Amino acid sequence: MGIKLRRAGIPFTILEKGDRVGGVWRDNTYPGAACDIPSHLYSFSFEPSHDWSRKYGTQPEIQSYLDHCAQKYGVTQHIRFGQEVKDAEFDATEGRWTVVLAGGEKVVSPFLVAATGQLSLPADPTFGGLDSFSGKVFHSARWDHDYDLRGKRVAVIGTGASAIQFVPQIAPRATRLHIFQRSAPYVLPKPDRPYSRLEKYLYRHFPAILAASRTRQYVYHEARVLPLTKGVGVKAVEKAWERYFHSQITDEHLRATLRPDYPIGCKRVLISNDWYPALNRSNVEVIPAGFGEVKTDSVMAVDRSERSVDAIIFGTGFSTTEFLAPMTITGVDGQELHDVWRQRGGAEAFKGVAMLGFPNMFVLYGPNTNLGHNSIVYMLESQADYVLEALRHAASHGAKWLDVRQEAHREFNDELQDRLKKTVWQAGCDSWYVTEAGKNTNNWPSFTFDYRRQTRFFDPVHYVTDAPSAAEPVLVGGTQS
């Protein structure tokens, strides 16, 4: 968004809680942190990088790519680091947002774009007795690199995308690793490998080859939406998992423990080559039960099985359905965004970007724009272009504010939820996509090119403004897959 605003010559400031750019890639430095989307695809369309050492970028490589982009495109100088936003309130008379920072400073701007993501608030479960635990406790998103795991007995809570990456890394170091598995994930092999010198040479000197790799990966990943949303090809995916699972886990008891009890795809399908081998190790134990309570030097599962440990690592993920928490966002008529969302049974937005009653505010990676199948960067570029066109529209029509129309907001979300009902995500498992009440607030239930098509135009028909209505739709240009 910053790059696009800068290119468009629109003045802006970015308020960043952290001390550098990178978001989740800055925060998640746990051993083995890497992307599960190939880097030729998990990069900006306008900044393809030929420097990846391997197919799936690792956290340090992705962090340095993001640092590079911020520097190259002159965004860094627009960022105020170490600034946490507490509240934001819209003044309809003036048509502007007042943003209050943790230190009390107020920043005033006609437009507000929230880009805090869906995975920025670590979920720290509150277990009974945790305060009395005498050992080390940390969350995977706040890894304590000073704590030496060698010779330690460690409890890992959770078996999601983060845990399956760090467990194989720490298993050889710890004396004992007790993994508390509330529900087993489906894990498929990760087709990862280092790029050869020849490949790197070709990607560096022949941009068309790099572009072809990106396109090929885009098409392959796009097809993965079909089993998730239409049930197409599910049997083949199940068979592939079954074959891989049997080849990796030979012990019948362990197989029974690791066999998921929900349809494939209902939770995110994970990819790893070292998760199942790590679980075969003699110092690793999988306890097929949720985490229960903590004592001074031990942990107890809900089935009351107890293990003495020196450290507890939470791989428990993020508060994903509480978008924009813990900020307080106040729109027209004093309504607070989280109250509005609570009344509607969970977060929702028009095209995942604009919220009724919160004029001049946009959100990137907002409600229902997460993917189970393709690169989120593609979605983010669609959103940034859409927001840019909204700003251009407001400026060219002298509008002090624009707010999404109620009917447009409702129709979009009704249709979206109808589509979501037919997806595997609603097939009866708990996942971070779905609220406790069962509303999927996170996922986009279609192709990403469909989302690109829907956000390609900023159509003023969908908005109310204080300016006289006019204008044809504006074509949003600039990005390619």
Instruction: Summarize as ranges the residues that interact with ligand NAP (CB under 6 A).
Output: 34-36, 119, 125, 157-163, 165, 180, 182-183, 267-268, 290-291, 315-318, 430, 432
Contacts 24+ apart (CB under 8 A), 7-14: 7/73, 8/388, 8/391, 8/392, 10/388, 10/391, 12/78, 13/78, 13/79, 13/80, 13/107, 13/109, 14/75, 14/78, 14/79, 14/80
Q: Which two tokens stand for residue 400?
A: 């002090």
Residue partners of 170: CB distance under 8 A and separation at least 6: 31, 149, 154, 177, 313
Min separation Cβ 70 and ligand NAP, Å: 20
Helix, strand, coil share (%) of the chain residues, nearest 5: 35, 20, 45
User: Smaller CB distance to ligand NAP: residue 29 or 109?
Assistant: 29
Across 26-78, the runs of DSSP E, i.e. the strands, are none
Which of 97/318 has CB closer to ligand NAP? 318
| Comparison of 75 and 294: residue with beta carbon closer to ligand NAP | 294
Would strands 463-465 and 402-404 be described as parallel, antiparallel, or unpaired?
Answer: antiparallel
Shortest distance, CB of residue 316 to ligand NAP, whole angstroms? 4
Q: Minimal distance in Å, beta carbon 314 to ligand NAP? A: 8
The least CB distance from residue 302 to ligand NAP, in Å, is 8
Closer CB to ligand NAP, residue 186 or residue 412? 186
- To ligand NAP, the closest distance from the beta carbon of 99 in angstroms equals 27
The least distance separating ligand NAP from the CB of residue 376, rounded to whole angstroms, comes to 8
Nearer to ligand NAP, 325 or 340 (CB): 325
| Least distance from ligand NAP to the Cβ atom of residue 408, Å | 29
CA pair distance 113, 97, nearest whole angstrom: 10
Please, what is the minimum distance in Å from the beta carbon of residue 301 to ligand NAP?
A: 9
Q: Which is nearer to ligand NAP, 372 or 460 (CB)?
A: 372
Q: Give the CA angle between residues 196, 198, 201 to the nearest 5°.
A: 110
Question: Between 12 and 138, whose beta carbon lies closer to ligand NAP?
Answer: 138
Q: How far apart are CA 23 and CA 115, in angstroms?
A: 10
What is residue 400's three-state secondary structure?
Answer: coil
Cα separation, 80 vs 363, whole angstroms: 19
Minimum distance of ligand NAP from residue 170's CB (angstroms): 15
Q: How far is the CB of 36 from ligand NAP (least distance, A)?
A: 3
Instruction: Closer to ligand NAP by CB, 157 or 384: give it.
Output: 157
Spatial CA neighbour of 87 closest among 78, 98, 73: 98
What does the alpha-carbon distance between residue 215 and residue 25 come to, in Å, rounded to a whole number? 24
Closest approach, Cβ 181 to ligand NAP, in A, equals 7
State how far the Cα of 94 lies from the Cα of 85, in Å rounded to an integer: 21
Q: Return the exposure string of 135-164: e unless at least 16 CB atoms fall within 10 Å of the residue's CB, then b.
A: bbbbbbbebeeeeebeebbbbbbbbbbbbb
In 328-370, alpha helices (H): 337-343
User: Distance between CA atoms of 93 and 333, rounded to whole angstroms?
Assistant: 11
The amino acid occupying position 343 is: Q
Bridge partners (DSSP) of residue 85 are: 101
By beta-carbon proximity to ligand NAP, the closer residue of 22 and 315 is 315
Q: Which residue's CB is nearer to ligand NAP, number 119 or number 353?
A: 119
Residue placing its CB nearer to ligand NAP in the complex, 269 or 354 = 269
Q: Which residue is nearest to ligand NAP (CB)?
A: 160
